[in-house]
Amino acid sequence: MPAPSPAVPERVRIALEERSYDILIGPGLLAHAPSWEGLPTAAAAVIVSNATVAPLYAAKLRSALAGRYRTVHEVVLPDGEDHKDWPTLNRVFDALLAHGCDRKTVLFALGGGVVGDMAGFAAACYMRGVPFVQVPTTLLAQVDSSVGGKTAINHPQGKNMIGAFYQPARVVCDLDTLATLPPRELSAGLAEVIKYGPIYDMAFFAWIEANIDALMRRDTAALAHAVRRSCEIKAEVVGQDEREAGLRAILNFGHTFGHAIEAGLGFGEWLHGEAVGCGMVMALQLSRRLGLVGEDFVRRVTALVQRAGLPTVGPALGADRYLELMRVDKKAEAGEIRFVVIEQPGRAAVRGAPDDVVRQVLADCTR
Amino acid sequence: MPAPSPAVPERVRIALEERSYDILIGPGLLAHAPSWEGLPTAAAAVIVSNATVAPLYAAKLRSALAGRYRTVHEVVLPDGEDHKDWPTLNRVFDALLAHGCDRKTVLFALGGGVVGDMAGFAAACYMRGVPFVQVPTTLLAQVDSSVGGKTAINHPQGKNMIGAFYQPARVVCDLDTLATLPPRELSAGLAEVIKYGPIYDMAFFAWIEANIDALMRRDTAALAHAVRRSCEIKAEVVGQDEREAGLRAILNFGHTFGHAIEAGLGFGEWLHGEAVGCGMVMALQLSRRLGLVGEDFVRRVTALVQRAGLPTVGPALGADRYLELMRVDKKAEAGEIRFVVIEQPGRAAVRGAPDDVVRQVLADCTR
């Protein structure tokens, strides 16, 4: 496990031709001048953050950016998934227009996945596209949502239904920001870290099993490795399939069931990562019932999900409601739900499944 | 002047690598089966149109598509620029979700520039992008807005402020639909045809001068040539600069002043093309005052704008208001207004201009 140095952050490259960019990972990066060198120049920068994160880190980011941009504005959104909607997004546009921001203006998304998704989508749409930088302050955003260019807002009838593929100019993961993360959110982030094991890299999965206690107590070196390896895997997958024509869909392991949980309970009730943690257990049970993996493997992953402080049993929404919610998933095709299943430990695929098998899984995994 | 054949439509290619597509131009294309061959396959198609155009052409398009798509839905929006906003756009998303549309669903934009901009932006955002086809039914949309992938909605503080560069899979220009166009809208479309002369092709400009009467009486052969040559020029420009990093901005000739007129009077008061017609005269007067072109040339273009039935004098909003409105134009940079000027007949450039020169132009050209 390499020890991260504050002077030389770890660097993962997302290779997407002219849309390529770096992910910087390390402690102390917010105040570290080289983190911001080489970004697009402009008269103004705009920090988009939320009411929880802005008081903690906006001043630090603002002073780091002051040397590069003549003016640095701030837009502070309400915190939480239930504000990931059009009226809240429009507050970003209102602010950009009120400040006379032109199409060179650089947006900085300072916060978790919701802030990243909204600031990214705002950047994708404002004047048909301005540059933006992801500055994720949650583990979930650092290992998953800030990387790969998926941006979106929710529609009352479905999560992330309105959005764009729009790549950031850079991602800066300051590990120090994880110190202020509530324990539930740390666990939620670990769900997306664990995800990379069954779908892509069982050696990494074994490393997580061996280091889960260090991760839970926020050991910086352990976090640095978890974030770096997660970003590397995501970079490899996204580099091959930027717009989710195929391979990239495996990153949605646990998300089909997970989105149904989030939508069924009302967004914000469970954290996204909590729903994904439980959704992975459900997707594994489905894989087992489809004859793809054995019970031992399901137990092994379930145990790690549990040790990460995540739920492994879903809410009793009723199978009909689960099926209805999953049919509006973006992976669905012509009304058929598409699940990410594990074909063998370390390899995933996307496929349909008979409704009665899905009902058995739901009967097993909800209470 | 080549005579168009209904059996073999004219074809202009927009070359943008994997986003390349054809523009088909000719009479009778809506009901002509080959117009729709080779489009992406899907379970469902959705026709997005407005309350004026849908009663005229939606049934014809629907039956043409019925052979290719199992279900063909229809979303009918209110007509007009003042509905090019988020609540109206959201009606498209509501319908797509209510019909369970997946991310292979193909959208068909049947109507003028507003429908094309909205359906295109809806396609860009729905599930982060579904395919769409432009079926422009106005001259303005056929020669300009349906080609090149600019999509957007308006913000109360600025036109086309929220949008995306998102290319259609095809553009089908059925010249027969121009028969039902109100005279004002025909003139508005001619503004964008005339535009291509001063910025790019003075031989085409001379052809328009010689054929303006035929165009005004909607001669099919004249319209076919005007649409084809306009699309060819737009294809050449967009092919070199898809995202308007440079050259493409010349297509906004007349639009900086024009947008100010539209916004100052309230969107919908003047048609977009009317504002552009008048805006071109203003931009030419500016070019003259900057010493770039002579008075004869300004008079020549102004005469053609007039013969096309377009206004050549702007509303008296006051110079301060014009300047304020132009400062939020998307071409503005760090608060400086950027104008498309004519450097010499057939060649345009983008540059700033001293406020006092702009004020003189406004004094000359408004009443």
> Of A188, A185, A186, A151, which Cα lies nearest the Cα of A279?
A188
> Among partner residues A97, A128, A165, which is closest to B128 by beta-carbon distance?
A165
Cross-chain residue pair A164–B124, CB shorter than 8 Å: yes
How many Å apart are CA A117 and CA A136, to the nearest integer? 11
Contact A178, A170 (CB under 8 A): no
The C-alpha atoms of residue A56 and residue A203 are separated, in whole angstroms, by 36
Q: What pLDDT, in 10s, does the model give residues B80-98?
A: 888 999 999 999 999 999 9
Contact A129 B162 (CB under 8 A): no
Residues in chain A closer than 8 A to B129 (CB atoms): 164-165, 243
Going by the DSSP 8-state scheme, the letter that residue B39 receives in this structure is: P
Instruction: Return d(Cα B366, Cα B313) in angstroms, integer.
Output: 5
Structure confidence at residue A267 (pLDDT): 77
pLDDT tens digits for A323-332? 999 998 888 8
- Are B129 and A165 in contact (CB < 8 Å)? yes
Which whole number is the average pLDDT over B346-350? 97
Measure in Å the smallest separation between the Cα of A254 and chain B Cα atoms.
19
Query: Across the strands, what pairs with B132?
Result: B107
Predicted pLDDT of residue B345: 98
Residue matched to tokens 């507050």:
A91
A104 is catalytic: no
Contact check, Cβ <8 Å, A330/B127: yes
Q: Percentage of residues in chain A with pLDDT exceeding 90?
A: 90
Which member of A102, A162, A327 has the closest CB to residue B332? A102
The reply to whether A99 belongs to the active site is no
B158 carries a ligand binding annotation: no
- pLDDT tens-digit series, residues A260-296: 999 899 878 999 999 999 999 999 999 999 999 999 9
Nearest CB to A328; choose among B100, B126, B128: B100
pLDDT digits (tens, 9 = 90+) for A127-152: 999 999 999 999 999 999 999 999 99
Write out the E strands in chain B: 10-14, 21-26, 44-50, 71-77, 106-111, 132-136, 150-155, 158-165, 170-174, 339-344, 347-351
Percent residues over pLDDT 70 in chain A: 98
Nearest chain A Cα distance for residue B304, angstroms: 32
pLDDT at A8: 80
- B152 lies within 8 A of chain A by CB: yes
Which residue from B minimizes the CA distance to A100? B328
Q: Say which range, B6-10, B16-20, B237-241, has the weakest mean pLDDT.
A: B6-10
Confidence category of residue A7, pLDDT binned at 50, 70, 90: low
Which residue among the candidates A10, A192, A262, A274 is catalytic per the annotation?
A192
How does residue A13 score in pLDDT terms, banded at 50, 70 and 90? very high
- Across the interface, of A90, A102, A128, the residue whose CB is closest to B333 is A102
List domains and CATH numbers for chain A: 10-180 (3.40.50.1970), 192-217+253-365 (1.20.1090.10)
**How large is the average pLDDT for residues A71-86?**
94
End-to-end C-alpha distance for chain A, whole angstroms: 39
CA distance A10 to A274: 28
Give the integer Cα–Cα distance in Å for B69 and B106.
9
Question: What pLDDT does residue B5 have?
Answer: 47
- Rounded to whole angstroms, the Cα distance separating A103 from A42 reads 9
Average pLDDT (B146-153) is: 94
Helices (H) and strands (E) in chain A, counts: 12, 11
| pLDDT for B301 | 98
Q: Which of A97, A128, A244 sits opposite B152 (nearest CB)?
A: A128
Does residue B300 register a pLDDT over 80? yes
Note whether B328 contacts A129, CB cutoff 8 Å: no
Identify which has the larger pLDDT, A52 or A266.
Answer: A52
Q: Phi/psi of residue A39, each to 5°?
A: -75, 160
Query: CB of A150 within 8 Å of any CB in chain B?
Result: yes
Find the CB nearest A128 among B86, B100, B150.
Answer: B150
- Which chain B residue lies closest to A97 (C-alpha atoms)? B157
CA distance B265 to chain A (A): 19
Q: Which helix (H) or strand (E) holds B117?
A: helix B113-125
Distances (CA, A) of B3 to B6, B13, B189: 10, 19, 21
Residue A155 has φ and ψ, to the nearest 5°, of -115, 150
Alpha helices by DSSP H, chain A: 54-66, 86-98, 113-125, 139-140, 183-200, 202-216, 220-240, 255-265, 272-289, 295-307, 319-327, 355-365
**Residue A356 pLDDT:** 96
| B338, closest residue in chain A (CA to CA) | A102
Residues of chain A positioned with their CB less than 8 A from the CB of B148: none
Residues 92-121 of B with CB under 8 A from A: 93-94, 97-98, 100, 102-104
| Mean pLDDT, range B213-237, rounded to an integer | 97
Asked if A252 is an active-site residue, the reply is yes
* Nearest Cα residue to A305 out of A274, A271, A340: A274
Task: Give the mutation candidate from B18, B102, B157, B333 for the A interface (greatest A CB count, under 10 A).
Answer: B102
pLDDT band at residue B328, thresholds of 50, 70 and 90?
confident
The pLDDT of residue A2 is: 46
> Given this model, what pLDDT does residue A6 score?
54
State the average pLDDT over residues B242-264: 93
The average pLDDT across B289-317 equals 98
Chain B residues with CB inside 8 Å of A158's CB?
A: 97
Model pLDDT, residue A259: 92
Residue contact A162–B97, C-beta within 8 A: no
pLDDT, chain B, mean:
95
* Cβ distance of B128 and A152 shorter than 8 Å: yes
Query: What is the pLDDT at residue A331?
Result: 81
**Interface residue A15 vs chain B (CB under 8 A):** no
Shortest Cα distance, chain A CAs vs residue B323, angstroms:
13
Active site annotation includes A150: yes
**Res A158: pLDDT:** 83
Using the Cβ of B129 and the Cβ atoms of chain A, whether some distance falls under 8 Å is answered with: yes
Report yes or no: B8 at the A interface, CB cutoff 8 Å.
no
Give residue A1's pLDDT.
46
pLDDT tens-digit readout, B164-207:
999 999 999 999 999 999 999 999 999 999 999 999 999 999 99
Q: Was B150 annotated as part of a binding site? A: yes
Give the residue numbers of B annotated as catalytic, written as ranges: 128, 150, 192, 234, 244, 248, 252, 255, 259, 272
Residues of A in contact with B90 (CB under 8 A): 86
The pLDDT value given to residue A81: 85
pLDDT digits (tens, 9 = 90+) for A224-273: 999 999 999 999 999 999 998 889 999 999 999 999 999 899 878 999 99
The predicted-structure confidence for A149-186, as pLDDT tens digits, reads as follows 999 999 988 889 999 999 999 999 999 999 999 999 99
Residue A116 annotated as part of some ligand binding site = yes
The string of DSSP letters for A144-163 reads IITSS-EEEEEETTEEEEEE
- Tell me the DSSP string of B271-315: -HHHHHHHHHHHHHHHHHHTTSS-HHHHHHHHHHHHHTT---SB-
Q: Residues 6 or more apart from A231 whose CB is under 8 A from it?
A: A12, A23, A25, A142, A143, A147, A171, A173
Whether pLDDT at B4 is above 70: no
- Which residue in chain B is spatially nearest to A329 when comparing CA positions? B102
- With an 8 Å Cβ cutoff, is B291 touching chain A? no
Residue-level pLDDT at B105: 97
Out of B94, B102, B332, name the one closest to residue A334 (CB).
B102
Could you tell me if B161 lies within 8 Å of chain A, comparing CB atoms? yes
